Structure 1
Amino acid sequence: MDISPRVLRYFVAVAEELHFGRAATRLYISQPSLSHQIRKLEETLGTPLFVRSSRRVQLTAAGRTLVREAPKALTALEQAVQLTRLAGSGIATTIRLGYTPVANFDTLTVLLDALQEDHPDFTIDAREVFSAEIPERICAGDLDIGLALSPQPIDGVGGEILREEPVSALLSTRHRLAAAPAIPLTALRDETLLLFPRRLAPTYYDGIVAACHEAGFSPEICAFEAPPVNAMLARLSSGREVGLAPASFAEHAAKASTRVTLRDVVDPSIVAELSVLWPANDPSPAIASVLATARRCAERNGWLRSPLT
């Protein structure tokens, strides 16, 4: 059955005016042409839509049904056209953003606020995902953008560092080092370090281990699974371990417990690098727009030691 949107619009105009002359004027076509189009529509449907007389035009039962349904069909068609054009231009209505738990506080909040300001037409579907999983999920098409802690390179995924920050120590207020204004890495020689499991952020984990080796000792490490903040605080409250985490994450974690305090770690070689990732072969303007906003956030908030190029 071939019924064009144009003919449906003609029908709606006549149904609203209940007068072929006025409807024709409104549609900027001749009345005979309009009448012909409506007759063809009735023939196609196999039922009259109007009762015509010399004095007035009335809708039939079938006409009343179509006048309810035609606007719905036209609206659905217009939405389909708009979504298709947006998809073709690369401007997606939804951006699926995967973020590592350590970005859940300062970085993610700032980025989401900036995206709302720059692109109020975007819907951001933000999902917490461990860093090691983000590149693979981007490759699989499950994510459009990722925020990952020191991610490992993977074919098909583009990336650049969005934020560089020192690693801070979280420890019980009863810990022997709690009174120190800052903690040298060498002071942690005899401590058990609480870290994310290596499989969740291998490069970050290996960087801390390498820094400890450089400082002259092999660290004793206890990994915790999840959820990151609650698990870390519960363990640290006992006073037997020292947690190491990116400074922004550690700061927010320390505020969540009166039994845990935050101290700087004095070792410039330990740097937590949060990267933004995207599908390398995706030319979507939507993804490019999100990346541009992320870069502006980095520059505006001084997240990088060196500006992005």
Structure 2
Amino acid sequence: MPGQRPFPGHLDPRLLRAFLAVAEELHFTRAAARLFVAQQSLSRDIRRLERELGAELFVRTTRQVTPTVDAERLLPYARRVLEAHDALLDAFARPGGEERPLLVDVNTPGLVSSRILDRARALAPDSELMARYETGLTGAAADLLAGRLDVSFGRFAGLDPSVRARLEQRLVRYEPMAVVLPEDHHLAALDAVPLAALSGETVYAGAGNPRTLEWTDLAHHLFEGRGIKLASPAPVAVGPEEFRRIMAKWRTPVLAVVEFPAMPGSVSRPLIDPVPLSPVSLVWRKGLVHPGIDALVRASTELASEEEWLLSPRNGWIPATDALIFMPRT
């Protein structure tokens, strides 16, 4: 009908939780702390809810937050919807009220993701956070959306936009990148390898592996215009001994991160001039509620603060696609 406001066919419960927190706290900072999210993320969710409803919900000034008439009208509906949502989750909880385990893909032991998982387990000892070790956020994202996996880590900007729209993410680290070389490679004698020194080299970055498309895409951005060739698709070397054999046979440098575990017959050297960074995010399915996720978010926030994981070096580099998502606009 002319003039009729379109109403969305679906409202994400997360948006209603954001609204309820602000409506009850009447303060965005306190509401964000209550939800364990950044204030910027909370404001973004409120704006999205306002767009979807076609109504202004809060009048914000520097001193106070005041709910509008539409907010007062929405409040009882939001409470009933969230109560029903929580009741549904309780109905499918494990017998006796026991939480179901949370399945977390940490990629490889010893990486940033493993450290976050260890901290989260300490923060939530009553929750069962089970680790899975498989590489690639692209592959993990399919499992997340299908409900076969709960949480993963990786380069969020490298996912298809239609997939990103169905996932939540929290940036946890700008991770410096490295190159893994045969022990007797001419660049292995350097303490750090300038990117210019890789000009003319062919470097492996997972090409052909459908589970790690986001990593290969990162390599494309990094190698472009620097004379570095991307190695042709090849089967993935699984396990230290197979990695050693392939490295000895083909002698192809491998793009990695600085915390990549040591492999026999090879050395890892950080890349510099500029310092390429791999933005690592904690990623989970939208609408998934579990105490283990709260613990993972808190753990990543604590570690990022303690070890300055989100500080980019002066000469740091990330792809423009990632900067659009993560870097604040000035």
TM-score bracket for the superposition, by shorter chain length? 0.5 to 0.7
Counterpart for residue 8 of structure 2: none
CA RMSD of aligned residues (A): 3.2
Rounded to whole Å, the distance in 2 between the matches of 1:212 and 1:171 is 17
> Is 1:209 aligned with 2:215?
no
Deviation at 1:236, TM superposition (A): 2.2
Counterpart for residue 138 of structure 1: 144
Secondary structure of the residue that 2:131 maps to in structure 1?
A: strand
Aligned counterpart in structure 1 of residue 254 of structure 2, from 227, 234, 243: 243
Rounded to whole Å, the distance in 2 between the matches of 1:233 and 1:302 is 33
Structure 1-normalised TM-score?
0.61
Deviation at 1:220, TM superposition (A): 4.2
Counterpart for residue 125 of structure 1: 130
**For 1:44-87, what per-residue CA distance to the aligned partner results, in whole angstroms no more than 9, with x for missing partners?**
xxxxxxxxxxxxxxxxxxxxxxxxxxxxxxxxxxxxxxx95894
**For 1:169-227, what per-residue CA distance to the aligned partner results, in whole angstroms no more than 9, with x for missing partners?**
11112112222232222222232212223522223212222222222454444544142
What pairs with 1:20-99 in structure 2 (closer than 5 Å)?
87=93, 92-99=99-106
Secondary structure of the residue that 2:168 maps to in structure 1?
A: strand
Aligned pair in 2 of structure 1 residues 230, 222: CA closer, same or farther (>3 Å)? farther
Rg comparison, structure with higher value: 1
What pairs with 1:127-166 in structure 2 (closer than 5 Å)?
127-130=132-135, 131-150=137-156, 151-152=158-159, 153=161, 154=163, 155-166=165-176
- How many residue pairs get aligned? The number is 219
Rounded to whole Å, the distance in 1 between the matches of 2:153 and 2:291 is 19
> Is 1:179 aligned with 2:186?
no
Q: Give the letter aligned to residue 116 of structure 1.
A: R
Aligned pair in 2 of structure 1 residues 181, 239: CA closer, same or farther (>3 Å)? farther
Aligned counterpart in structure 2 of residue 280 of structure 1, from 281, 286, 291: 286
Identity within the alignment, %: 22
Rounded to whole Å, the distance in 1 between the matches of 2:111 and 2:198 is 27
Deviation at 1:99, TM superposition (A): 2.5
Rounded to whole Å, the distance in 2 between the matches of 1:112 and 1:159 is 16
Contact map agreement 1:97 1:125 (CA 8 A) in 2 = yes
Aligned pair in 2 of structure 1 residues 121, 217: CA closer, same or farther (>3 Å)? closer
Aligned pair in 2 of structure 1 residues 302, 230: CA closer, same or farther (>3 Å)? farther
Secondary structure of the residue that 2:179 maps to in structure 1?
A: strand
Unaligned 5+ runs, structure 1: 1-82
Q: Give the letter aligned to residue 241 of structure 1.
A: T
Q: Give the letter aligned to residue 125 of structure 1.
A: M
Secondary structure of the residue that 1:248 maps to in structure 2?
A: coil
Contact map agreement 2:138 2:210 (CA 8 A) in 1 = yes
**For 1:223-263, what per-residue CA distance to the aligned partner results, in whole angstroms no more than 9, with x for missing partners?**
441426544333223472211101111xx22xx42x32222
Contact map agreement 1:118 1:293 (CA 8 A) in 2 = yes
Contact map agreement 2:170 2:281 (CA 8 A) in 1 = yes
Aligned pair in 2 of structure 1 residues 206, 95: CA closer, same or farther (>3 Å)? same
Aligned pair in 2 of structure 1 residues 199, 280: CA closer, same or farther (>3 Å)? same
Counterpart for residue 100 of structure 1: 107
Aligned pair in 2 of structure 1 residues 211, 113: CA closer, same or farther (>3 Å)? closer
Rounded to whole Å, the distance in 2 between the matches of 1:214 and 1:241 is 20
Rounded to whole Å, the distance in 2 between the matches of 1:169 and 1:231 is 18
Deviation at 1:157, TM superposition (A): 0.9
Deviation at 1:92, TM superposition (A): 2.7
